[in-house]
Amino acid sequence: MGRPVVLSNGQLFVGLDESGLVHDFYYPYVGLENLTNARSIQHKIGVWADNTFSWTDDGSWNVHVDFEIDALISDITMTSEQLGISLHFSDFIDSLNNSLIRHITVTNDHDKERDVRLFMHQVFQISRAGRADTALYVPDEHYILDYKGRYCLLIAGKIADSEDSFDQYAVGNYGIEGKAGTFSDAEDGELSGNAVEHGGVDSVIRFQKHIRGKQSVIVDYWIVAASSQNDVQVIHNEYKHKKMEDRLHSVRQYWQLWLSSGHPIPDFHRRSVQHSLLIIKAHCDERGSVLASGDSSIFNYGRDYYCYCWPRDAMYALWPLIQLGHYKEAKTFLEFARDTMHKDGYLMHKYQPDRAIGSTWHPLIHNRHKELAIQEDETASVIYLLGIYYDSSEDKAFVENLYHSFVVPCANFMSRFLDQATGLPHASYDLWEEKFLTSTYTVSLVIAALMTASKLADVVNQPDDSLRWKNVATDIRNHLNALCPDGIFVKGYLLNEKGDLIYDNCMDISNLYGPYMFSGLQLDDHRIAATARVIEERLTNPGPGGGIIRHEQDGYFLNRHLYQGNPWIVSSLWLAQYYQASQQHDKAIKLLEWAINHELPSGALSEQFDPEDSSPLGVTPLVWSHAEMVNTILYLNSQT
């Protein structure tokens, strides 16, 4: 189950699942820490009417989860024919405070007046082991406080246009000592009023209102996050006396202003562009990190989340933002990269949003030799991004600020991280994080990065640096035939101790995209054209669902083993971009339409899809998928 709606303000990030329920709640960084118990249960919503109770995720409700067209505000409807109740949610994160606000319209679909009770359940796991959290009811200011150390979460709400707040509550244990959770206390329509519990905890609050036939009431529910009880209580007291419709309007204006502050968005697939931009922006922490995905559900199927900042993913995410004139996010990320760079001039595999080094599966030894546990393309990606930023912004002062502290060490590292025997970059891990080799993709991006560094050296009047890096890039380009043993770009090779090149002939979409996009070769170069033909033969139409796989024998999330791999948005749109560049417009449009047809109703894009039934696989949303969606639409629009 993915996150079709993600909400964020650059510090607090919330993911809503396909039932419209809170499933991820990250604070104080976008992607760190996840304070929910999302691996086992999401926050639940229950409704009682006419002595009948139902949870909205019990299968009897018709649920539609969407975004507003131009704001990080949900547009969710939940309808129960059995109860005769409809709920509409406009969910948002306050642009002024770290608060999730659910603006809920509760409608009585019957003709007669009825007693309707709305139950809002929350289950946090602030301590990693599910122990030592405390939840308690605070009577003076009428709220539930869930806390552990410096993490404080305040839960409360009110019925709009009245003095009414929640009228009942219950606090209990969840997930320990055989206890399922206090949420079950709601199922008779009444809550026990238990006021405190510690350990693994959850809580429920109730809003009750007699609603006339065919009429609605609005319930505003909020969760405030801060580092102390006093801080959350100050915000809570503000909300008690404010119209949340005003906050909703302000947040809507905030996002509309952000979208309009850049260059005009073309009408060509405008909805997909805007939703993708908003999803990318939601994953940008205000301190520089760009999260790959906030969808924590992958932890149930793997060993880790995607809640890290990969420099490569960040480059691709920020590229379309820069194209559309949004520069702030790129600047803060580039400073993040400078500050996390190794002293020897390279970037590590990935980073936590707080700038700590992320987890890795790359060893420091390969074939009994010490090696760097890096993907060199990530270092190259960020230098290339700085060039994109400068070309668009002409911000010479920012380049000067980063030149000696970041550009010089990175460019010097890439200039010396070479094998004398081949004249090409030394082996590192490939962009898919699977193989240790000198890959076509990485070599191509290193060429682009060194040429970018040379250009930036000219900007700051450093001609010696410029000439040196340009010469290295040119020399690497002149040795590209080592990656084309039969006139076709292969995945790469490994240089063994005897000086032999052990080729990996796997056909990979990056074998084409790297040379086409980054190497500086002309599009009509026979090696690129030949590689494209083989890519078409081996990676297209992996199954009835269509699309393009990453590479041959791609086993990642592969359930149907008669196929070579699952189709990915990134690989499909990379080929679409190549088709457009090579004047094959109809093929490009077909792949773009395939990608758009694989959006969730909210516009969220998964990483990959089942080759037969096209069901989403991997994380949803994947920021990189959305970046390529925007890049492809902008490129195709500019060429038509």
Cis peptide, bond prior to residue 28, ω within 30 of zero: yes
Element (H, E) at 136: strand 133-138
Are 168 and 53 in the same domain?
yes
Are 547 and 633 in the same domain?
yes
**Which pair of tokens denotes residue 156?**
């409360």
Are 167 and 279 in the same domain?
no
CB-based burial label for 460 (10 Å; 0-12, 13-18, 19+):
middle
Report the Cα–Cα distance between both ends of the chain, in Å, rounded. Answer: 37
Q: How far apart are CA 202 and CA 122, in angstroms?
A: 6
Are 430 and 563 in the same domain?
no
Residue 147 belongs to a domain with what CATH number? 2.70.98.10
Phi, psi torsion values for 400, nearest 5 degrees: -60, -35
Kindly calculate the radius of gyration of the chain based on its CA atoms and give it in whole angstroms.
26
**Which pair of tokens denotes residue 442?**
């990485």
Q: How far apart are CA 300 and CA 592, in angstroms?
A: 31
Single residue among 257, 281, 299 that ends a domain in this structure: 257
Residue 309 contacts residue 350 (beta carbons within 8 Å): yes
Residue 486 contacts residue 507 (beta carbons within 8 Å): no
Are 271 and 195 in the same domain?
no
pLDDT confidence bin for 324, thresholds 50/70/90: very high
Q: Total structural domains in the chain?
A: 3
Q: How far apart are CA 543 and CA 560, in angstroms?
A: 10
Share of the chain above pLDDT 70, in %: 98
Q: Is the pLDDT of residue 399 over 70?
A: yes
Could you tell me which residues come within 8 angstroms of residue 5 by beta carbon, excluding any fewer than 6 positions away? 15, 16, 20, 65, 66, 67, 74, 76, 91, 602, 604
Residue 469 belongs to a domain with what CATH number? 1.50.10.10
3-state per-residue secondary structure call for 514-528 = HHHHHCCCCCCCHHH
| Assigned domain for 534 exists | no
Average pLDDT over residues 285-307: 85
**Which pair of tokens denotes residue 274?**
């805007």
DSSP symbol at 482: G
Name the β-bridge partners of 591: none
CA distance readout (Å), 608 to 222, 496, 535, 572, 632: 34, 34, 18, 10, 17
- Please give the pLDDT value at position 318: 98
Are 26 and 146 in the same domain?
yes
Are 352 and 418 in the same domain?
yes
Q: Is the pLDDT of residue 331 over 70?
A: yes
| Assigned domain for 615 exists | yes
Q: What is the dihedral of CA 387, 392, 398, 404, to 10 degrees?
A: 10
- Please give the pLDDT value at position 21: 97
| Assigned domain for 207 exists | yes
Are 416 and 440 in the same domain?
yes
Q: Is the pLDDT of residue 42 over 90?
A: no
Are 386 and 500 in the same domain?
yes
Q: How far apart are CA 428 and CA 61, in angstroms?
A: 50
168-173 vs 201-211, strand pairing mode: antiparallel
Single residue among 495, 524, 553 that ends a domain in this structure: 524
Single residue among 216, 234, 257 that ends a domain in this structure: 257
| Assigned domain for 529 exists | no
CA distance readout (Å), 290 to 261, 333, 437, 495: 20, 7, 27, 34
Phi, psi torsion values for 322, nearest 5 degrees: -60, -45
**Which pair of tokens denotes residue 264?**
């005009």
| Assigned domain for 88 exists | yes
Output the pTM of the full model.
Answer: 0.97
DSSP 3-state assignment of 398? helix
Residue 73 contacts residue 255 (beta carbons within 8 Å): yes
CA distance readout (Å), 16 to 6, 64, 130, 294: 6, 12, 22, 10
Element (H, E) at 277: helix 270-282
DSSP symbol at 295: -
306-310 contacts, C-beta under 8 A, 24 or more apart? 306/619, 306/622, 307/26, 307/31, 307/32, 307/34, 307/353, 308/31, 308/350, 308/351, 308/352, 308/353, 308/358, 308/359, 309/31, 309/336, 309/350, 309/351, 309/352, 309/353, 309/358, 310/349, 310/350, 310/378
Residue 280 contacts residue 603 (beta carbons within 8 Å): no
CA distance readout (Å), 90 to 33, 71, 219, 236: 25, 11, 11, 19
Q: Is the pLDDT of residue 293 over 60?
A: yes
Average pLDDT over residues 378-405: 98
Q: How many CA atoms lie within 13 A of 595 on its CB side?
A: 33
Are 158 and 18 in the same domain?
yes
Average pLDDT over residues 355-371: 93
- Please give the pLDDT value at position 92: 98
Question: Minimum mean pLDDT among 169-178, 234-243, 584-593: which range?
Answer: 169-178
99-108 vs 133-138, strand pairing mode: unpaired
Q: How far apart are CA 638 and CA 26, in angstroms?
A: 37
Q: Is the pLDDT of residue 301 over 60?
A: no
Are 78 and 195 in the same domain?
yes
Q: Identify the CA nearest to 201 among candidates 141, 153, 142, 157.
A: 153
Quick: pLDDT tens for 305-319.
899 999 999 999 999
Residue 35 contacts residue 226 (beta carbons within 8 Å): no
| Mean pLDDT, rounded, of the chain | 95
| Assigned domain for 530 exists | no
Q: Is the pLDDT of residue 37 over 90?
A: no
| Assigned domain for 535 exists | no
Quick: pLDDT tens for 165-218.
999 999 999 877 767 789 999 999 999 999 999 998 999 999 999 999 999 999
DSSP symbol at 242: S
Q: Which amino acid is at 178?
A: G
| Assigned domain for 533 exists | no
Domain range for 511 is: 308-524
Are 546 and 513 in the same domain?
no
Quick: pLDDT tens for 53-102.
999 999 999 999 999 999 999 999 999 999 999 999 999 999 999 999 99
Quick: pLDDT tens for 103-135.
999 999 999 999 999 999 999 999 876 678 999
Q: What is the Cα 289 distance to its own chain's centre? A: 11
